[in-house]
Chains A and B, each alone.
Chain A
């Protein structure tokens, strides 16, 4: 229902809304610059020790130097590779496991206590075991990322599958649908939103897994840079790597929200 002849009140309303958005954006940027300005200032006048806290201009220079030497891209590449691989493995593994558990109530009942216990276990405790099993390389880090995120994937998807409207299942059954058809026509398309939410959670978990993994064992990657920097007391390096990590994870989260728009674009809820 497009109406181009808006009333004056409506024009005012839109104007007010736009103004509000502008103000919020301005404040966002303001807060950003204020923090960096204050940080830089406090170090400059000697309130903060720049050696321990580092400072924005030094961080920017460090990032630039790392980039120029080519080191930065190598480290980013390695961490991204570990995180993404861990992410894809846990998402696919988690999704398929959840489907199987949805399909068979008996299996679900059998494995429920195992999943609950695994979920509550701090996965990082298994770090040493993983190093022994997978060696001290990328494999161990990817295993760590999978271990941390897969259970959450299983649980969130299974929850969504089980929440499928019972009456809709009944309707399909009355049409003579098989369990497989119910799965493909109702359970899977009906859980699209939960799927996107799971992607978001799994991505965050995969980041935790890969960085924790790099803390434990690694010779490269952003997590490695952070640990290395702190060990040799180069706080500039620690801060620079953290900032790069922040930008990377933000960018990846944004990609998932793009995927969300793509997946859910033709599904409108009132």
Chain B
């Protein structure tokens, strides 16, 4: 498999009136095409900062990020960003929310819109095309948010704790849905989370970060059999992985 994303010795320092903080230091990892990678780390270790850098929203202080061998300098079409809350616009219908990235990128093509509609229909939102976000459940809204990310056909999806705003039961089923959609649409994804079981059950590889300034502490290739995150959770190996990662993160906290 080809390497899609390269993070080369990235350092990021942010400045406030009261001083400067190095959030990330010499961070280095790669993501292969069609891979699902999770990044876990202690809270406040700069996970969101990493996604902001990859998405091109902020530039690293040192080092560089390459997507398909090209340097990422500003937000581009090849990357889709999904945030903690669904961030659907309440005054837009579901359909119009999904078309938002197309409007921003001034895509006039009807095919692109039809693709968005197809995705909505395919993933069980057929009856809600003309509804408003507040008529949908939290899980459905998050599905719409994912489809909004997919509609511009990005190569790489960045998921910033996309399930943290949901209650625990919905959380399981939504992470299951999101996983299935990402697999079915053949996408590469980076998931940032503080939930170890979420990371194990969803990803091919888990990257563990150190405390701030964060760098890669360890990487684990997870090969759990099972067709979905919920299935994988039932695998006996799951608890083994959980223990390993839990200990690694726990050592961090001290």
By a beta-carbon cutoff of 8 Å, the part of chain A in contact with chain B is 165, 167-168, 170-177, 181, 185-186, 189-190, 192, 266-270
Q: Determine if A176 and B91 form an interchain contact, defined as CB atoms under 8 angstroms apart.
A: no
CB distance from B191 to the nearest CB of A (A): 16
Partner-binding segment picked from B18-26, B36-44, B96-104, B211-219: B96-104
Report the number of A-B residue pairs with Cβ-Cβ less than 8 Å: 59
CB distance from B93 to the nearest CB of A (A): 8
Contacts A168-B89, A185-B100; is A174 near B84 (CB within 8 Å)? no
A165 to B87, CA, bound (A): 9
A190 to B91, CA, bound (A): 8
Complex contacts, B183 vs chain A, CB 8 Å: none
B29 an interface residue at 8 Å Cβ cutoff?
A: no
In this complex, what residue of A is CB-closest to B51? A174
Q: Determine if A176 and B81 form an interchain contact, defined as CB atoms under 8 angstroms apart.
A: no
A177 to B56, CA, bound (A): 12
Q: Determine if A176 and B132 form an interchain contact, defined as CB atoms under 8 angstroms apart.
A: no
Contacts A167-B83, A171-B83, A176-B75; is A266 near B100 (CB within 8 Å)? no
Complex contacts, B56 vs chain A, CB 8 Å: 174
Complex contacts, A174 vs chain B, CB 8 Å: 55-57, 75, 79-81
- Supply 12 A–B pairs (Cβ within 8 Å), ascending by A: A167-B85, A171-B81, A171-B87, A173-B75, A174-B56, A174-B80, A174-B81, A175-B100, A176-B75, A181-B104, A190-B89, A267-B90
In this complex, what residue of B is CB-closest to A192? B91
Complex contacts, A190 vs chain B, CB 8 Å: 89, 91
Q: Determine if A266 and B101 form an interchain contact, defined as CB atoms under 8 angstroms apart.
A: no
Complex contacts, A270 vs chain B, CB 8 Å: 134
Q: Determine if A167 and B81 form an interchain contact, defined as CB atoms under 8 angstroms apart.
A: no
B74 an interface residue at 8 Å Cβ cutoff?
A: yes
Q: When the two chains form the complex, which single residue of B76, B89, B134, B135 contacts A176, counting CB atoms closer than 8 Å? A: B76
CB distance from A153 to the nearest CB of B (A): 22
B15 an interface residue at 8 Å Cβ cutoff?
A: no
Complex contacts, B89 vs chain A, CB 8 Å: 168, 186, 189-190
Contacts A170-B57, A266-B132; is A176 near B104 (CB within 8 Å)? yes
Chain B 93-122 interface mask (CB, 8 Å, partner A; 1/0): 000000011011100000000000000000
Q: Which of B24-72 contact A (CB under 8 A)?
A: 55-57
Complex contacts, B100 vs chain A, CB 8 Å: 175, 185
A268 to B131, CA, bound (A): 10
Complex contacts, A269 vs chain B, CB 8 Å: 90, 134
Complex contacts, B87 vs chain A, CB 8 Å: 165, 167-168, 171
Contacts A167-B85, A268-B134, A270-B134; is A175 near B90 (CB within 8 Å)? no
Q: Which of B203-227 contact A (CB under 8 A)?
A: none
B77 an interface residue at 8 Å Cβ cutoff?
A: yes
Complex contacts, B75 vs chain A, CB 8 Å: 173-176
A190 to B76, CA, bound (A): 25
Q: Determine if A267 and B91 form an interchain contact, defined as CB atoms under 8 angstroms apart.
A: yes
A270 to B100, CA, bound (A): 22
Q: Determine if A175 and B104 form an interchain contact, defined as CB atoms under 8 angstroms apart.
A: yes
In this complex, what residue of B is CB-closest to A165? B87
CB distance from A2 to the nearest CB of B (A): 14
- Other than the given A171-B81, A174-B75, A174-B79, 4 more pairs (CB < 8 A) read A177-B104, A185-B103, A189-B89, A268-B135
Q: Determine if B57 and A175 form an interchain contact, defined as CB atoms under 8 angstroms apart.
A: no
